[in-house]
Amino acid sequence: MTRLAAWLSWSGGLFVLWLLLVGTVQDVELIAGLCAAAVGATAVEVVRSQRLLRFRVERQWLWLVRRPLRRVVPDFFVVLSALVRPSRGRFRRIEFPTGGERAVDSGRRAFAVLGPSLAPNRLVVDVDPDSGEALVHDLVPSSAPPELL
């Protein structure tokens, strides 16, 4: 029963994501979204059942997404201004303790890559567990925050 509930949850979430990305609710898009969500949810459940990918996201981490989301609009204008007067982007290493090999540590690393990359000025390229650092690229370094999350 838990696999069915997980499949339905993934399917529902992927369907909503599909609708957000296509921006329309025409019949053809609804059917295509349902099919794509079913395929995606099935793929997730196959991977989970074989334990090929283990991760867990803590609820308190979701609160940390507010900072990159607040930077989306200002960073949009920063990136737009970079089109007019180009600046040199910069790679930086930011300290980020990556943890071990537990599911929660893997989830934390994945969250640290996806969360800060929501704002258009910053892209997290890599998280190195050996050095405890994250490699980020800032398109306009002067407006980028010094911390990762």
Q: Is residue 149 part of a domain?
A: no
Which pLDDT band, with edges at 50, 70 and 90, does 1 fall under? low
- Please compute the mean of the pLDDT values over residues 16-36 and round it to a whole number: 91
Residue 75 lies inside a defined structural domain of this protein: yes
Retrieve residue 23's tokens. Answer: 């921006």
Query: Is 18 a member of any domain?
Result: yes
Residues 64 and 89 in one domain: yes
Q: Which of 20-29, 59-68, 76-85, 131-140 has the lowest mean pLDDT?
A: 59-68
Q: Do 26 and 63 share a domain, yes or no?
A: no
- Count up the domains in the chain and report the number: 2
pLDDT of 51 higher than 80:
no
- Whether 82 and 133 map to the same domain: the answer is yes
List, for residues 71-95, the tens digit of each pLDDT value.
889 888 988 888 888 778 889 898 8
Its domain, for residue 76, covers: 59-143
In which element (H, E) is residue 91 found?
strand 90-95
Q: Is residue 148 part of a domain?
A: no
Region 142-148: what's the mean pLDDT? 75
The reply to whether 54 falls in a domain is no
Residue 117 domain flag: yes
Clarify whether residues 32 and 65 are in a common domain: no
Shared domain for 81 and 132, answered yes or no, is yes
DSSP string, 55-80: ----HHHHHHTHHHHHTHHHHHHHHH
Kindly state whether residues 78 and 134 are assigned to the same domain: yes
Residues 79 and 127 in one domain: yes
Record the pTM: 0.64
**pLDDT tens digits, residue range 104-134?**
777 888 888 888 888 888 888 988 888 888 8
Q: Is 92 in the same domain as 21?
A: no
CA–CA dist 9, 23 (Å, integer):
21
